Amino acid sequence: MPFARRMLVEERRWLSAEEFTDVLSLCQLLPGPNIVNVAVCVGARYHGVRGAVAAFAGLMTAPFFIMLALGVLYTEYGDLPAVSALFRGISAAAAGLVVAMGLKMATSRRLRSAMALFAVMTFIGIALMRLPLVVFLLGAAPLSVAATLWRAK
């Protein structure tokens, strides 16, 4: 995202800094990877549907094929003892990265302490009770938004 910001705001000047913040806040709110959403928004702003499609394709094509190449290598060699040992290490680290991102977000200022209850509820519902996410979100997300509205009064 820092790279995207530098390219969009400083190098190409497609968006002002303020517009970028605005676009980003929308893209974080909508489902889908933030960076993909930013690409779609910026593409749409300049060239409608064609711009959005072009931006999406530009962003995703190369990584998609890299991923496929890795997938081929993985299915081909994934069963070799050395490779699976390597992967046991890497996947432990990858899990650590996710844990860190969660903790970082949990301690950020955007999470008001009174609202932490909803984070705990979500953790219990999803991680421990293994509720289906759609069902859970339909209940919890509106409640959380309503609580925010009520507190803001």
Partner 1 sequence: MSEETLAQLAMDFSVLSLIAVGGAITVLPEMHRSVVEVHGWMSGAQFAEVFALAQAAPGPNILVVSLIGWKVAGLAGAVVATAAVCGPSCVLTFAVSRIWQRFRGARWRTAVEDGLVPVTVGLMLAGGYLITLSADHSWPAFATTALTAAFVLTTRIHPLWLFGAAGLIGLAGWV
Q: Which of 3, 11, 13, 82 binds partner 1 (CB under 8 A)?
A: 82
Backbone phi and psi for residue 13, each to the nearest 5 degrees, phi listed first: 55, 40
If binding is defined by CB under 8 A, does position 79 make contact with partner 1? no
Question: Contact, 44 vs 52, CB < 8 A?
Answer: yes
- Judged by beta carbon, residue 12 or residue 74, the one nearer partner 1 is 74
Answer yes or no whether residue 103 interacts with partner 1 by CB under 8 A: yes
Size, binding site for partner 1 by CB under 8 A = 88
Task: List the structure tokens of 1.
Answer: 């995202």
Single residue of 68, 76, 77, 80 touching partner 1 by CB under 8 A: 68
- Of the residues 8, 15, 24, 40, which one makes contact with partner 1 according to CB under 8 A: 40
Closest CB to partner 1 among residues 12, 78: 78
- What distance in Å separates the CA atoms of residue 31 and residue 28, rounded to the nearest whole number? 7
What are 54's two structure tokens? Answer: 């072009």
Asked if 89 touches partner 1 (CB under 8 A), the answer is yes
Nearest to 91 by CA among 74, 105, 107, 108: 74
